[in-house]
Amino acid sequence: MDLFEHQARELFEHYGVLVPRAVVADSAPEARAAAERLGGRVVVKAQVRTGGRGKAGGVRLAADPAAAYVTAGQILGMDIKGHTVHRVMVAEPVQVEREFYLGHALGRAAGRFLAIASAEGGMEIEDVAARRPEAVARIPVDPDQGVTDAKAAEIAAAGGLPAEAAPTVRRLWRVLTEQDALLVEVNPLVSTRDGAIVALDGKVTLDDNARFRRPYAHAADTADAGDPREAEAAARGLNYVKLDGHVGVIGNGAGLVMSTLDVVASRGPPADFLDIGGGASAEVMAGGLAVVLGDPDVRSVLVNVFGGITACDAVAEGIVRALDTVTLTKPLVVRLDGNSAARGRAILAERAHPLVHQVDTMDGAAARAAEPGPAVKGGALLPTPQ
């Protein structure tokens, strides 16, 4: 899970990384008081667990405490990529000389740790990485050796960072490894006019499997529910991530869901990642459908299940149970294969819902789910009249 920026900042400070002085505020009056404590001129930053805050207007400079009051009032309540701003961080401004990018990550595809650095940090780093990948250095890190002084100097030099940034490189590695993180990122890392190396922003993604060791992770959950569907899915014990498309995706097993997303993406953008797990019951399947169908961005849903521990007839029973409790107004494309697939298909055929379409192949199911048509316009999930 992602930490809020103010939580990442506190971790960085604990490990000796220089950060601006800052105060968290839940209201405009608190933001004004924070600005008074910090000397008047401040930066007001939305605290949401998503990127793009600056481009969305969630990071603004306030000239004095009165301006901080007005600015915080404008930012609080904003919607940034589906996340409502409930609090802001009021930070002391920094005299920036140059901006850089620095991060450590567990590269799953490469099967190794990577240090990532660039002399071109800031809001456009994604564009830089896409247009000129050579401008972003990716340096493998041996987990047995870690980031030594020599390795930190190598990473800084490869990314075009000043030599003075090497201690920060090493300290951020300690954050990654000692705090059970999968990603530690600073964008921008800056050099100031007096030569200091300061982390102006911070992103830390923790390994969910180690959350029981990280009490501040629970604080992040209670401070902001994030996307309401993600909160609902978590309450149901489902692995769900909201995406930006319109084709809902449900599968059993992370590998199968990822493959399904790839196939769907070639025809229409997927709206979510939802893994019901390897031993999902009919109840879990019904709960997953309720979460995905409740997303107003979803125009159709693809259920792609390969029966193993989760038998296809249990999945079909879950779909039927969901159809008994909601009025389906969006196409539901189902592909069942594997354990008890024939029985599962028979259950759905017997239910004979006009918006449920069975397709034999994953490619065919993805193409059917991405089809435009009258049935995908508007549809909302409505309670069945009692």
58, 91, 124 - which closes a domain: 91
379: nearest Cα among 295, 320, 319:
295
Same domain, 108 and 166: yes
166, 195, 216 - which closes a domain: 216
| Pairwise CA distance, residues 183 & 205, whole Å | 5
Dig out the tokens for 122 from the structure.
Answer: 């800031």
163, 194, 216 - which closes a domain: 216
| Pairwise CA distance, residues 103 & 117, whole Å | 6
Same domain, 111 and 197: yes
β-pairing, 22-25 with 88-91?
Answer: antiparallel
Same domain, 233 and 311: yes
| Pairwise CA distance, residues 179 & 372, whole Å | 46
Q: Are 202 and 186 in contact (CB under 8 A)?
A: yes
Same domain, 279 and 169: no
Q: What pLDDT does residue 374 have?
A: 40
Q: What pLDDT does residue 236 have?
A: 80
Q: What pLDDT does residue 151 have?
A: 97
- The domain spanning residue 29 has which CATH number? 3.30.1490.20
The one-digit pLDDT tens for each residue of the chain (386 residues) are 889 999 999 999 999 999 999 999 999 999 999 999 999 999 999 999 888 898 899 999 999 999 999 999 999 999 998 788 999 999 999 999 999 999 999 987 777 899 999 998 876 777 877 788 888 999 999 999 999 999 999 999 999 999 999 999 999 999 999 999 999 999 999 999 999 999 999 999 998 888 778 766 655 554 554 567 777 787 787 888 889 899 999 998 888 999 999 999 988 899 999 998 766 677 888 888 888 988 889 999 999 999 888 889 988 998 998 888 777 889 999 999 999 999 999 999 999 999 999 999 999 999 999 987 544 333 333 333 33
User: Would you please indicate which residues are annotated as catalytic (active-site) residues?
Assistant: 101, 185
Positive/negative CA dihedral, 96, 195, 22, 16: positive
DSSP state of 270: B
Residue 6 lies in a domain: no
| Pairwise CA distance, residues 60 & 142, whole Å | 39
pTM of the model: 0.62
Kind and range of the H or E run holding 128: helix 125-131
Close Cβ partners of 314 (under 8 Å, ≥ 6 residues apart) = 280, 281, 282, 285, 340, 344
Same domain, 320 and 306: yes
Dig out the tokens for 294 from the structure.
Answer: 């409740």
Q: Are 106 and 182 in contact (CB under 8 A)?
A: yes
Range of the domain at 272: 228-383
Q: What is the pLDDT of residues 46-86, one digit of tens each?
A: 999 888 898 899 999 999 999 999 999 999 999 998 788 99
- The domain spanning residue 271 has which CATH number? 3.40.50.261
Residue 12 lies in a domain: no
Residue 2 lies in a domain: no
Same domain, 248 and 363: yes
Q: What pLDDT does residue 198 have?
A: 98
CB under 8 A, 24+ apart: contacts of 123-130: 123/54, 123/55, 125/101, 125/187
Number of domains composing the chain:
3
Q: What pLDDT does residue 129 have?
A: 75
Residue 41 lies in a domain: yes
Q: What pLDDT does residue 221 have?
A: 54
